Structure 1
Amino acid sequence: MHWESTHTSEMLLFLLSFATCLCITAARPTIGEQENDFTAENESEEVRSAAIKRLLEVFGMDDPPAIHGHKQPPQYMLDLYNTVADVDGVTKDPYLLEGNTVRSFFDKLHSEQVEFKFNLSTVARTEKILTAELHLFKLRPLAAHTLNRHHFCQVSVYQLLDSIKTNNTQEKKLLSSRLIPVHSTGWEVFTVTQAVRSWMVDEGSNMGLQVVVRTLGGTQMDMKLIRFASGRHHHQSKQPMLVLFTDDGRHSATLESTDPHEAIATSILPQAPMSAPSSRIARSLDYSEEEGVSKPCQRLPLYVDFEEIGWSGWIVSPKGYNAYHCKGSCPFPLGQNMRPTNHATVQSIINALKLIKSIETPCCVPDKLFSINLLYFDDDENVVLKQYNDMVAGSCGCH
């Protein structure tokens, strides 16, 4: 009896262990399932990587700029962005900006003298230099010199030359010169386009810029009377800065509107909120659930969030933008509220009369595209304002 009892206990223990193993085996994915999950995860990551890479190409970049921490963009660049773009980054007027790119550079020399040098290595050789400006912040004269008899001074900006390369004794070349009130304070801007263009042709010729201040009689003026902020001794908000207005050669599509706000306002399509709609609202916008019929061609929200993409670290503004998308049917007959082209009208008639097989109805597509502006830090911590064409569907129509 004892043997039978022991044998029964062992059998029960074995069956319990076997059942446990079965449960564990059933719960654990098979090798094939594990491989499928791993493959799906890899494919998902590959798709995301390819999508981000393609989006970078749209923004004219090979890789996202390195993030060096939170620096304060120059106030000039912030003001310029707010002048050319609305709160969503959409261009207010395509003619406000000269070219499609504005780059700002801080002085790298930090010299005690009134000399400045800027590293332009981040500027592509293909970019056309339209205008280059030297921005200097003029400080008030020191108190001991306020009673000086001079009221105006002549401020001249020179391009420093390499006499060995130029094969002459000339050490500098005059770029810009004008009279400035001695007791004024604030930003002074000088055009230095000629120098920057020469530097782009030969990077080694970039010896920097020099500022010379003289009295109206032509004598050298005391630099304690005329003072400009330097990168060495003054706050970043007053540092010497070079600003380049360039064109990178990208051209707008014919759909680009000259007045985005007028085009959107006159569109028959409803204005959508900037935030992405909930799935329930999105479904109601896409089609009528009761009738099961697609709604007429209309513009719907499509919000691009730079934080979700992982770009918030280097993009200053905007945080995201509403690209919108077009969706809906183009049923016969096409009314003017569908904004059809003549071609779309004819195609709609051919489709309705079944005159030719396999001719589909016209498509609901953007008929106005607007540009957006991006303010961001590049790899060298310079702040760049760039305008990108054809980024927002302003209105939709049947084509």
Structure 2
Amino acid sequence: MLFLISFAALVSAVAARPSLNFLENHFTADNESEEVRSEAIKRLLEVFGMDDPPAIHGHKQAPQYMLDLYNTVADVDGVTKDPYILEGNTVRSFFDKLHSEQVEFRFNLSTVAMTEKILTAELHLFKLRPQGTTTFHRHHFCQVSVYQLLDTSTHEKKLLSSRLIPVHSTGWEVFTITQAVRSWVVDESSNLGLHVVVRTLGGSQMDMKMIRFASGRNHHQSKQPMLVLFTDDGRRSTSLESIDPNDTEATSTLPQAPMSGPPSRTARSLDYSEEEGTSSPCQRLPLYVDFEEIGWSGWIVSPRGYNAYHCKGSCPFPLGQNMRPSNHATVQSIINALKLIKGIDTPCCVPDKLFSINLLYFDDAENVVLKQYNDMVAGSCGCQ
């Protein structure tokens, strides 16, 4: 009897335990799913011109200048407002690495590829209010000059930019230093930094209590010295030309699908009518890319995601103008309808206008970058 009870318990335990085949299949499926996800994210990184996602340690705050610039060129979803606002397709910001109490600055440009075309480089300095009061009324303007350091032993330097600024003013002052940055990108060892000299209109050295610039050592991050670099990485639209996304003519003939919401039987019936056995006409439908779900919210500042849209539907004969057909699509549709040649399908529903988006993100060196990517949003759909 004891033997029978033990045997029954063993059988029950085996029956309750998943089979070895089931565990192997489940493990294999999980592995394959993880491999697909890993490969998909790798390909998406390639679209954004990266090998690996940047590693960001702790909470970082983007410079206000970069946030304002992003809001100027992009809407809330990151779609470009006007493709001609930006000079080039990349804007990089760098904080001073020297943190000197003197008016000397140095920026690490190792993240800038030599293949990038340097268009404009700007030194942004925040001018503080003067401390001196006795000589305040004697000087209303001063000459601020920015030099590139060429040799630390001989103190040899080269003038990059110079102009007059009001002594009593406060706020950001911008100096163009493109020539120096171009040389630094070509030869990293030549980057010895910048030196700022302030003189009176008569040419004498200015009292630094009157003319003060915020430093990275003693002032808030929002006022730190910053280098802003406008570049072009050579990428161009490879298919369709981007246009202003606010141009309603591009999408006025297309039905606008809801932005979000769970799929339903009604939504499915828009794509396919089981009773008639025919698909709906070519149209633009939502396709939201959520950076948080992908795991990128730690290094992407804006946007949190964007609607890429996708094109779906049939291109039946005859193709009306609302289908935005090309001449080739019209001819293909006719050949298909007349059955003149076997194996000729109807035209496909594809994007006929594409918009660019902008990403504001931290790079590997925790600098903030604004980059524009072409052909990321289906602006409208047509039969091709």
TM-score range, shorter chain: over 0.9
Give 2:377's match in structure 1, choosing from 376, 385, 392.
392
Q: Pairwise CA RMSD of aligned residues?
A: 1.7
1:386 shift after superposition: 0.5
1:263 shift after superposition: 4.9
Alpha-carbon deviations, 1:30-54, whole Å to 9, x = none? 2222211111111111111100111
2:367 matched to 1:382? yes
Q: Distance in 2 between matches of 1:108 and 1:238?
A: 14
Give 2:217's match in structure 1, choosing from 229, 232, 245.
232
Q: Which residue of 1 aligns with 2:86?
A: 97
What is the SS of the residue equivalent to 1:260?
A: coil
For residues 381 and 150 of structure 1, do their structure 2 counterparts lie closer, same or farther at Cα, with a shift above 3 Å needed?
A: same
> Which residues of 2 match residues 213-224 of structure 1 at below 5 A?
213-224=198-209
1:72 shift after superposition: 1.1
For residues 280 and 156 of structure 1, do their structure 2 counterparts lie closer, same or farther at Cα, with a shift above 3 Å needed?
A: farther
For residues 158 and 282 of structure 1, do their structure 2 counterparts lie closer, same or farther at Cα, with a shift above 3 Å needed?
A: farther
1:14 shift after superposition: 3.6
What is the SS of the residue equivalent to 2:143?
A: strand
Residue 102 of structure 1 aligns to which amino acid in structure 2?
Answer: V
Give 1:360's match in structure 2, choosing from 335, 341, 345.
345
Alpha-carbon deviations, 1:365-385, whole Å to 9, x = none? 000011100000111110000
Structure with a larger share of its residues in helix: 1
What is the SS of the residue equivalent to 2:293?
A: helix
How many residue pairs align between the two structures?
Answer: 384
Q: Which residue of 1 aligns with 2:311?
A: 326
Give 1:31's match in structure 2, choosing from 16, 20, 23.
20
Q: Percent identity over the alignment?
A: 85
Residue 16 of structure 2 aligns to which amino acid in structure 1?
Answer: A
What is the SS of the residue equivalent to 1:350?
A: helix
1:216 shift after superposition: 0.8
Residue 348 of structure 1 aligns to which amino acid in structure 2?
Answer: S
Give 1:243's match in structure 2, choosing from 222, 225, 228.
228
For residues 274 and 231 of structure 1, do their structure 2 counterparts lie closer, same or farther at Cα, with a shift above 3 Å needed?
A: farther
Instruction: Identify the range of structure 1 (330-339 vs 140-149) with the bigger mean alpha-carbon deviation.
Output: 140-149
Residue 68 of structure 2 aligns to which amino acid in structure 1?
Answer: D
For residues 267 and 232 of structure 1, do their structure 2 counterparts lie closer, same or farther at Cα, with a shift above 3 Å needed?
A: same
Q: Distance in 2 between matches of 1:152 and 1:195?
A: 26
Instruction: Identify the range of structure 1 (31-40 vs 90-99) with the bigger mean alpha-carbon deviation.
Output: 31-40
1:280 shift after superposition: 4.1
1:143 shift after superposition: 5.2
Q: Which residue of 1 aligns with 2:115?
A: 126
Q: Which residue of 1 aligns with 2:174?
A: 189
Q: Distance in 2 between matches of 1:242 and 1:251?
A: 26
Contact residue 242 and residue 374 of structure 2 kept, 8 A = no
> Which residues of 2 match residues 282-293 of structure 1 at below 5 A?
282-293=267-278
Q: Distance in 2 between matches of 1:170 and 1:143?
A: 29
1:225 shift after superposition: 0.6
What is the SS of the residue equivalent to 1:261?
A: coil
Give 2:44's match in structure 1, choosing from 55, 62, 65.
55
Give 2:100's match in structure 1, choosing from 111, 118, 122.
111
Q: Distance in 1 between matches of 2:104 and 2:301?
A: 30
Q: Distance in 2 between matches of 1:257 and 1:235?
A: 39
Alpha-carbon deviations, 1:149-205, whole Å to 9, x = none? 1111111110010277xxxx6710000111101111111100000000000111000
> Which residues of 2 match residues 300-311 of structure 1 at below 5 A?
300-311=285-296
Q: Distance in 1 between matches of 2:144 and 2:304?
A: 41
Q: Distance in 1 between matches of 2:266 and 2:77?
A: 22
Alpha-carbon deviations, 1:244-280, whole Å to 9, x = none? 0011111113412321220566432233344354344
Q: TM-score, normalised by structure 1?
A: 0.92
Give 2:190's match in structure 1, choosing from 194, 201, 205.
205
Q: Which residue of 2 aligns with 1:258?
A: 243
Contact residue 300 and residue 325 of structure 1 kept, 8 A = yes
What is the SS of the residue equivalent to 1:144?
A: coil
Gaps of 5+ in 1: 1-9
Q: Which runs of 4+ in 1 moved over 6 A?
A: none
Residue 65 of structure 2 aligns to which amino acid in structure 1?
Answer: Y
Residue 71 of structure 1 aligns to which amino acid in structure 2?
Answer: K
Contact residue 276 and residue 302 of structure 1 kept, 8 A = no
2:54 matched to 1:65? yes
For residues 302 and 181 of structure 1, do their structure 2 counterparts lie closer, same or farther at Cα, with a shift above 3 Å needed?
A: same
For residues 264 and 79 of structure 1, do their structure 2 counterparts lie closer, same or farther at Cα, with a shift above 3 Å needed?
A: farther
Q: TM-score, normalised by structure 2?
A: 0.96
For residues 83 and 146 of structure 1, do their structure 2 counterparts lie closer, same or farther at Cα, with a shift above 3 Å needed?
A: farther
Q: Which residue of 1 aligns with 2:326?
A: 341
Q: Distance in 1 between matches of 2:217 and 2:283?
A: 56
For residues 277 and 125 of structure 1, do their structure 2 counterparts lie closer, same or farther at Cα, with a shift above 3 Å needed?
A: farther
Q: Which residue of 2 aligns with 1:159?
A: 148
What is the SS of the residue equivalent to 2:45?
A: helix
Contact residue 272 and residue 280 of structure 2 kept, 8 A = yes
